[in-house]
Amino acid sequence: MSAKPRYIILLGPPASGKGTQAARLREILGLPHVASGDLFRENLKNETPLGRRAKEYMDRGELVPDDVTIAMVMERLSQPDCAGGALLDGFPRTIAQAQALDRALAERGQQVGAVPYIAVPDDVLVERVSGRRLCRLCGASYHVRFNPPQQPGRCDHDGGKLYQRDDDLPETVRTRLQVYWEQTSPLIDYYRQQGVLVTVNGDQSIDAVTTDLREALGRP
Ligand code: ADP
Ligand code: ADP
């Protein structure tokens, strides 16, 4: 692994802290944050055909089909700001997506540089999901207990109203965790075999996780 890999994938179960950490690492690394869930939610908000198609899967806590997801993320990665690298969050989530990403990067003479895996036990994840609140304007992630905003219900960055995601309900979360273990966790071995996986303990304070991620990425 090179000292400062440019294509970085934050791997981890739902609510492990990928978005929270990506918001910090994006500043530190100077890389764009590419979150597939955010891209889907943007499409939902704008009521695009893609958003309408994705909604039924998201509401059930299932994965959106690979072809749709891969096309959407590749389109984002082909934009000029991603030419020097990107911080990927929530993508890839299947082996097919990981292979598509490898192929697309290889075509540009690039490769995945590092895959920090944020490990968190399932019972902690359920508690994190139930208190998660997002900013309607910028998508920043808060938690009513673990990471509350300065002013209740309002984003610290832009004052946007905070809301709870439709899919952050206890029933849907159980499906999402099952989907994660069945379809996404095989990526842990996939990237371990590529020699780019580095496991970080996500069951500690947000600051401590950031410190460990920086360490894992060669102390940027
Ligand atoms: P979380 O933050 O809980 O991990 P995300 O915001 O990443 O959730 O994703 C929300 C939903 O969007 C997922 O449950 C899934 O339906 C869809 N989604 C996001 N990324 C992908 C992906 N890479 N492949 C398939 N579906 C995805
Ligand atoms: P992901 O993007 O992996 O789905 P988020 O970054 O949205 O996860 O975090 C999920 C929830 O857990 C949010 O409410 C967030 O504020 C909270 N959270 C994130 N990291 C931690 C942590 N280390 N300790 C406690 N709560 C956390």
Q: What residue owns the CA closest to ligand 2's atom 23?
A: 206
Q: What residue owns the CA closest to ligand 1's atom 3?
A: 14
Q: In what order do the strands lie in the sheet with 86-89?
A: 7-10, 86-89, 33-35
Question: Which of 143, 165, 203 to mutate for ligand 2's pocket (most ligand atoms within 8 Å of CB)?
Answer: 143
pLDDT tens by residue, 139-186:
999 999 999 999 999 999 999 999 999 999 988 999 999 999 999 999
Helix (H, G, I), strand (E, B) or coil at 92: coil
Distance CA 86, CA 79 (A): 11
- Asked if the model's pLDDT at residue 4 lies above 60, the reply is no
Distance 180 CA to ligand 1 centre (A): 10
- Domains by residue range for the chain, with CATH: 6-120+184-216 (3.40.50.300)
What is the reported pTM?
A: 0.95
pLDDT tens by residue, 71-99:
999 999 999 999 999 999 999 999 999 99
Task: Determine if ligand 1 sits within 6 Å of the CB of residue 173.
Answer: no
